[in-house]
């Protein structure tokens, strides 16, 4: 397969890309948190026919890609222009659209509209006009707003939702557009709840509280949590649906396996846990008693703060996804022991392990014993060390 050149490209595509004629999988946001973890998951299933699409800029996001195996990398703007010119026609099996600005405090709404909404429309329109190209895209639990309309992933109730920030609005707007266009009859939108795990370090203020607190907790300090400003909720008892990135990857790949499933689905554990639970799990993973400091919540977010989120996952279970989500304590230990303490990014199992443990993408589902064994083994086999 010959990847097209663009004026922004400074190198020729690799020979393997020029020779390849079989369809590949596109992962947008492929260097980001969920995107790079998704490439890792496909590597562990024996797949390397992946085109990573992203914009690396001046940050550390590129480090997420170092231990992964993929066919090529394209800048996101060059890619969408090439796509619309027809350069990838007949060459794409599926598009896993994880790319977006996920900053919930972003104030440049024009940027969010162009980057999150308009880019998604262009990509989805291309897929819709080419029968057989599967699109799985990242929506967000931020579309649910304060939760007053519930957390049901029912397309008939999309118009009732009222996001609390511009990021959530940009995601919600695309969900509504996809529904109006009839795209959700063939595409899948995934509303991720509070995802945490390896490869999130580049996200700055948008990385999980775990990643933010870890250096201080590791070095003997305390963990800071927001005070509650509701009389019916004690400090630290605000609740979230915390879901581990490795389980999220299993869920996305399930939908890649099952083309008969379409529509919008929540991706969370279906259980809410308190911030205090999260803190205790982090300290326990380091063999320490919890030391929690409750701090004032910024006034700018007090009226927009969610006191509880919990994914309703009956629809997800109804299409056959039966993976048991990792308990918070188990996921925390895996994250701390195998990634945060040694400073390891996600990297696939060694080639011989990958071949022996990971069935092909077309035959492996998260309900099979082999898949779960492979998932357990690769947790300890991330080898690339952060500097």
Q: Which two tokens stand for residue 27?
A: 């992962």
Scan for tokens 């703060």, then name that residue: 305
Scan for tokens 């049901």, then name that residue: 152
Cβ-contact 53, 28 below 8 angstroms: yes
Scan for tokens 């990792």, then name that residue: 326
Cβ-contact 264, 139 below 8 angstroms: yes
Instruction: Tell me how far apart the alpha carbons of residues 108 and 165 are, in angstroms, rounded to a whole number.
Output: 11
Instruction: Tell me how far apart the alpha carbons of residues 248 and 195 are, in angstroms, rounded to a whole number.
Output: 8
Alpha helices by DSSP H, listed for 10-96, are 15-19, 33-44, 76-84
Instruction: Tell me how far apart the alpha carbons of residues 16 and 159 are, in angstroms, rounded to a whole number.
Output: 46
Residues near 324 by beta carbon (within 8 Å), at least 6 away in sequence = none
Q: How many CB atoms lie within 10 A of CB 279?
A: 23
Residues near 217 by beta carbon (within 8 Å), at least 6 away in sequence = 223, 282, 283, 286, 288
Alpha helices by DSSP H, listed for 258-360, are 275-285, 299-302, 314-318, 328-335, 351-357
State the burial class of residue 352 (Cβ atoms within 10 Å of its Cβ: 0-12, 13-18, 19+). exposed
144 to 8, 47, 264: CA distances (angstroms)? 38, 34, 13
239 to 1, 199, 325: CA distances (angstroms)? 48, 24, 17
Cβ-contact 245, 33 below 8 angstroms: yes
Task: List active site positions.
Answer: 167, 203
Closest to 153 (Cα-Cα) out of 255, 65, 5, 44: 255
157 to 149, 154, 184, 337, 345: CA distances (angstroms)? 9, 6, 14, 41, 38
């Amino acid at each position: 397969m010959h990847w097209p050149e663009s004026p922004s490209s400074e190198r020729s595509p690799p020979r393997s890309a020029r020779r390849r004629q079989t369809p590949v999988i596109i992962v947008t946001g492929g260097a980001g948190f969920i995107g790079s973890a998704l490439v890792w998951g496909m590597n562990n299933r024996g797949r390397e026919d992946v085109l990573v699409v992203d914009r690396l800029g001046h940050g550390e996001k590129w480090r997420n890609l170092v231990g992964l195996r993929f066919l090529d990398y394209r800048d996101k703007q060059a890619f969408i222009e090439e796509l619309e010119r027809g350069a990838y026609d007949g060459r794409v099996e599926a598009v896993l659209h994880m790319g977006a600005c996920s900053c919930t405090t972003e104030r440049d709404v024009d940027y969010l509209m162009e980057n999150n909404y308009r880019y998604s429309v262009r990509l989805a329109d291309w897929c819709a006009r080419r029968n057989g190209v599967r699109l799985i895209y990242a929506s967000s639990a931020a579309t649910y707003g304060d939760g007053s309309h519930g957390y049901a992933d029912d397309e008939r109730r999309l118009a009732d939702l009222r996001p609390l920030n511009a990021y959530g609005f940009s995601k919600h707007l695309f969900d509504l557009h996809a529904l109006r266009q009839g795209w959700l009859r063939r595409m899948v939108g995934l509303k991720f709840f509070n995802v945490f795990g390896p490869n999130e370090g580049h996200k700055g203020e948008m990385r999980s509280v775990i990643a933010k607190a870890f250096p201080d907790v590791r070095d003997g300090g305390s963990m800071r949590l927001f005070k509650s400003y509701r009389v019916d909720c004690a400090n630290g008892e605000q609740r979230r649906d915390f879901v581990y990135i490795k389980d999220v990857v299993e869920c996305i790949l399930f939908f890649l396996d099952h083309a008969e499933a379409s529509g919008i689905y929540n991706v969370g554990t279906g259980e809410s846990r308190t911030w205090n639970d999260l803190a205790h799990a982090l300290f326990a993973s380091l063999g320490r008693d919890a030391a929690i400091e409750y701090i004032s919540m910024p006034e700018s977010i007090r009226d927009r703060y969610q006191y509880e989120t919990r994914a309703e996952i009956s629809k997800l279970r109804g299409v056959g996804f039966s993976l048991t989500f990792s308990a918070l304590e188990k996921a925390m230990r895996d994250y701390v022991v195998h990634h945060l303490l040694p400073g390891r990014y996600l990297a696939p199992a060694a080639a011989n392990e990958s071949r022996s443990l990971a069935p092909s993408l077309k035959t492996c589902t998260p309900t099979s014993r082999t898949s779960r064994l492979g998932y357990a083994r690769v947790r300890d086999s991330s080898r690339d060390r952060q500097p």
